Structure 1
């Protein structure tokens, strides 16, 4: 059986000018095309090959030897490639971008930003993604109070706080009192577990003991400055999105690290941005 959205090992039925036709080893009438440019030269009819199954731009079932960034049922972060009347389209490593329908979005999204999504099949057997991942997360995390974990913010509730998918698998929540004003959906956070609730969900605290993150962030900023000939063109007015994209840290972490470097007189702030002292 050929299954959409999954990586499968299929058998070569025949090879033509447009590519190889694959089947599951049983039903030779049910075949899927592997385009000619992806067919290894040494393959022959009867050989096995590992491929991913999806639909092309004309909604035809097709296979590829490339592995996408996310498989059916998985949760992962994808970048918004475009926003249209039917929804957003997200990059996932294949020629045809994935649709994120408007009714599957939990917040207003922006082109070029990353968001946490789940890959699913719609009623028409087409692969799409959704931001509604809350029901898919687990509560049986092996982590204990005091441990530090990583995760992505996937929804923000002004009354409760920021919902985090810890390791893209477990329920996590940063309470509103502990959130930063610049926190956003799609942001990667590194937080300490302050409570494991009776229902198994994790309460996270990224702000407490945050000084432990400063040395690593400060080293990263200095490295970037050196790589850019002693200048980093960012300051307090730089958007959190740019900071996250270029440095993989939140705006608040960036400010703490810059403050430490200023105190140690390793950098100075100018109209151009952050410059290394001694240039």
Structure 2
């Protein structure tokens, strides 16, 4: 079965004047146009392609890589607004349509939005939507605390930043847990912080507890090397200064330099921390 809106591994069946016909082994075929045919193809070889509908609503294959796939999320730019909705650049020749009914706020040409791609069961077309809430569901969430996850920043709220976790779940990074500049559309690594009884998920941008020490300490060492072995920070430094310089909370900073001091990688003096020569 060939799945529209996703990558498919298909077999090269035959070559024609317009391209290669690829098959799924179940009798379904799709055209890979000449412009995407690799020079070293062979009949019966397997080929990984992305399949979608072309401008004539016919299934077609491409070796181009879209910015998101079916049931996924991406941050896409509006290239045109028409009578049916907004057309977004998703890395393919045919743009992704977000109908007006699927726009959380009216989209404007030239601006970018976080959208979901799904297969419309009525039209059987790949469609975009910025009404994200109806696609995100935390039912069945079972990721343990401190699990590393992929995040897509969705929108700013009074509490912090809503994020999409692993293209599936909804989470929140509280404002006081943000120690570096972020904005809508950023893709980041995060860590599960708390899973509440109502299935709301809090996310941290830094590892939690003991797992945090190694990357945080290594980050401080790199910063010291960049600044000729000295940083004018210490345990009495202003938290905002630490945040600006290292993108860390003061608590995380103090734990990390404590670890580095015990490992004899730094010395701590009244004016700041120094990288030891042997490090």
TM-score calculated relative to the size of structure 1: 0.60
Equivalences, count? 207
1:11-90 alignment, distance < 5 Å: 11-27=11-27, 30-90=28-88
1:172 maps to 2:171 = yes
- Cα drift, residue 16 of structure 1: 1.0
Separation in structure 1 between the aligned mates of residue 149 and residue 59 of structure 2, nearest angstrom: 43
Asked if structure 2 preserves the Cα contact closer than 8 Å seen for 1:18 and 1:36, the reply is yes
Asked if structure 2 preserves the Cα contact closer than 8 Å seen for 1:106 and 1:155, the reply is no
Separation in structure 2 between the aligned mates of residue 41 and residue 11 of structure 1, nearest angstrom: 16
| 1:14-54 Cα shifts (integer Å, max 9, x gaps) | 11111011111231xx3211011211122233222111110
Asked if structure 2 preserves the Cα contact closer than 8 Å seen for 1:141 and 1:170, the reply is no
Asked if structure 2 preserves the Cα contact closer than 8 Å seen for 1:164 and 1:171, the reply is yes
Which segments of 5 or more consecutive residues in structure 2 lack a partner in the other structure? 206-238, 248-279
1:214 maps to 2:214 = no
Corresponding residue of 2:113: 115
**CA RMSD for the aligned pairs?**
3.7
In structure 2, relative to structure 1, the CA distance for the partners of 1:20 and 1:150 (3 Å cut) is: closer
In structure 2, relative to structure 1, the CA distance for the partners of 1:212 and 1:136 (3 Å cut) is: farther
| 1:213-234 Cα shifts (integer Å, max 9, x gaps) | 42268xxxxxxxxxxxxxxxxx
Asked if structure 2 preserves the Cα contact closer than 8 Å seen for 1:140 and 1:170, the reply is no
Corresponding residue of 2:95: 97
In structure 2, relative to structure 1, the CA distance for the partners of 1:141 and 1:104 (3 Å cut) is: farther
Separation in structure 1 between the aligned mates of residue 93 and residue 193 of structure 2, nearest angstrom: 43
| 1:206-259 Cα shifts (integer Å, max 9, x gaps) | 9xx665542268xxxxxxxxxxxxxxxxxxxxxxxxxxxxxxxxxxxxxxxxxx
TM-score calculated relative to the size of structure 2: 0.60
Asked if structure 1 preserves the Cα contact closer than 8 Å seen for 2:149 and 2:166, the reply is no
Q: Which has the larger radius of gyration?
A: 2
Which segments of 5 or more consecutive residues in structure 1 lack a partner in the other structure? 218-279
In structure 2, relative to structure 1, the CA distance for the partners of 1:35 and 1:196 (3 Å cut) is: same
1:199 maps to 2:198 = yes
